Amino acid sequence: MLEPQFVFLAACKAGRSEAVRSLFKSIQTLSQVYGSPVLLHKNQTPPLAVIISMLLINGKIDEDQAGALGLAHYPLTGAQLFRWKRWEMGPAEEVRARPLDKYCFFVV
């Protein structure tokens, strides 16, 4: 049986908070989800490929490098790449999913 720790979502709006919460609820071993809460185009996916490469080569994801990569790529393509962590989804950290997704839509 698969016990994924990371999930990479490379589809339009697949990284919306409601979908991510559902993944965390369904997959107990999952610790991080990478994805975009808004439309994601093919030219905006290279940061995901680099992060996946980091994981395959190093056996881990350097969070500082991944964050810098997403930040540096945003001005070039407008891509929004979020990293969601399980502990951010706990009861004390709860943010209503739909208002957060709407905010992400307007930021673009």
pLDDT of residue 33: 92
Q: Which range marks the domain in which residue 58 is found?
A: 6-107
Q: Which DSSP string corresponds to 44-63?
A: G-HHHHHHHHHHHHHSS--H
pLDDT above 50: residue 6 = yes
In a domain, 63, yes or no: yes
Q: Is residue 1 part of a domain?
A: no
Residue 104 confidence class, pLDDT cut points 50, 70, 90: low
> In the predicted model, is pLDDT for residue 100 greater than 70?
no
36 within a domain of the structure (yes/no)? yes
Asked if residue 29 belongs to a domain, the reply is: yes
The SS3 call for residue 34 is strand
76 within some domain: yes
pLDDT of residue 106: 53
Average pLDDT over residues 89-95: 56
* Tally of structural domains, the chain: 1
